[in-house]
Amino acid sequence: MEVKKPLAGLRVAVTRPQEQSADLMELIRTAGGEALLYPLIDIVLRHQVADFIEAISKLPDIYVFTSVNGVRAFVEGNLTLESPVVPNLPTFCVGKATAQAASHAGFAVEPTPKVFAAENLIERIGKAREGRKRVLFVRGNLVEPDFANALSHMGFEVMEVIGYETVTTPFAVRLMEDVHQRKVDAITFYSGSAVKAFFDVSIKRMEWDGVLAAVGPKTAKVIREYGYEPQVVAETASTNSLMDSLIHYFISHTTYR
């Protein structure tokens, strides 16, 4: 007898930018679900902007990246330099995927904790000081200043540079319409900016019995700020963890279907 797949018959919305959605969509299909792409946000790299090029041309003592997009921006910008830098310096990353991207690009990535917390990362950077002072912090335009401020208070000279910008797309309206028409069973969110893009188009409270899935506690926090409780919160900020949590939820709630 054929075993029923865990997401069989379920329609799962993927809200990441299109170029970053392939892995999750494939996992959804493998688990028997229907993957629906709604790229609520888009990423625009700033790798050709003068201030970014100038910043990455100067070797710091430590690199810090908050996402894969920051690494992408650095790599693309570095290729435009007459003398590309060799970034084999201590590098701290937010999330496993970011660490993998940075390692592949030649950065000397420090071990990444299984569960990310800003406080832990700041503490680890402090312990790695050993005479190092200059930090190049490559971030997105929506990242809060708390992280950089904390490093500054520890005595680091922080060079903040925006490597990419997050912009919203028209897909939020379409997703909201499909939710109201019960065409979606679950929505996956990878960032607070995607959550905001979705809920900001709503003019009334969403009456929907579907599942909201967050890639981690920070994204879940933004969902709660809009008055909704995410049923699924991944233990770690990774695609595999999000899928494991989503599958576990539906297996545990067989009455959902």
The predicted-structure confidence for 172-212, as pLDDT tens digits, reads as follows 999 999 999 999 999 999 999 999 999 999 877 888 999 99
pLDDT at 130 over 80: no
In a domain, 6, yes or no: no
The number of folded domains in the chain is 2
Query: Is residue 31 domain-shared with residue 71, that is, in the same domain?
Result: no
Contacts of 102 (CB under 8 A, 6+ apart): 63, 65, 71, 91, 93, 109
Query: Is residue 160 domain-shared with residue 213, that is, in the same domain?
Result: no
Query: Is residue 217 domain-shared with residue 179, that is, in the same domain?
Result: yes
Query: Is residue 72 domain-shared with residue 151, that is, in the same domain?
Result: yes
Query: Is residue 32 domain-shared with residue 79, that is, in the same domain?
Result: no
In a domain, 105, yes or no: yes
Of 123, 145, 166, the one marking the end of a domain is: 166
* Greater model confidence, 189 or 154: 189
In a domain, 3, yes or no: no
Query: Is residue 52 domain-shared with residue 158, that is, in the same domain?
Result: yes
Contact between 217 and 115 under an 8 Å Cβ cutoff? The reply is no
Query: Is residue 180 domain-shared with residue 107, that is, in the same domain?
Result: no
Query: Is residue 91 domain-shared with residue 143, that is, in the same domain?
Result: yes
CA pseudo-torsion sign 80, 85, 86, 92: negative
Query: Is residue 132 domain-shared with residue 203, that is, in the same domain?
Result: no
Query: Is residue 178 domain-shared with residue 83, that is, in the same domain?
Result: no
| Residue 187, SS3 per DSSP | strand
End-to-end CA distance of the chain: give it in Å, rounded.
Answer: 20
In a domain, 208, yes or no: yes
pTM of the model: 0.80
What's 73's domain CATH number?
3.40.50.10090
pLDDT at 146 over 70: yes
β-bridge partners, 166: 43
- Tell me, what's the pLDDT at 114? 61
Of 113, 136, 166, the one marking the end of a domain is: 166
Task: Give the span between the Cα atoms of 86 and 210, in whole angstroms.
Answer: 48
Query: Is residue 74 domain-shared with residue 89, that is, in the same domain?
Result: yes
Of 134, 166, 198, the one marking the end of a domain is: 166
- Tell me, what's the pLDDT at 254? 66
* Greater model confidence, 152 or 203: 152
- Tell me, what's the pLDDT at 218? 86
Owning domain of residue 237: 11-40+169-256
List, for residues 44-97, the tens digit of each pLDDT value: 999 999 999 999 999 999 999 988 999 999 999 999 999 999 888 999 988 788
List, for residues 225-255, the tens digit of each pLDDT value: 999 999 999 988 889 999 999 999 999 986 5
In a domain, 4, yes or no: no
Query: Is residue 151 domain-shared with residue 174, that is, in the same domain?
Result: no
Other CB atoms within a 10 A radius of the CB of residue 248 amount to 12
Contacts of 149 (CB under 8 A, 6+ apart): none
Contact between 208 and 34 under an 8 Å Cβ cutoff? The reply is no
Q: Where are the beta strands (DSSP E) in the chain?
A: 11-14, 34-37, 41-45, 62-65, 90-93, 108-109, 134-140, 157-168, 186-189, 211-214, 232-233
- Tell me, what's the pLDDT at 116? 57
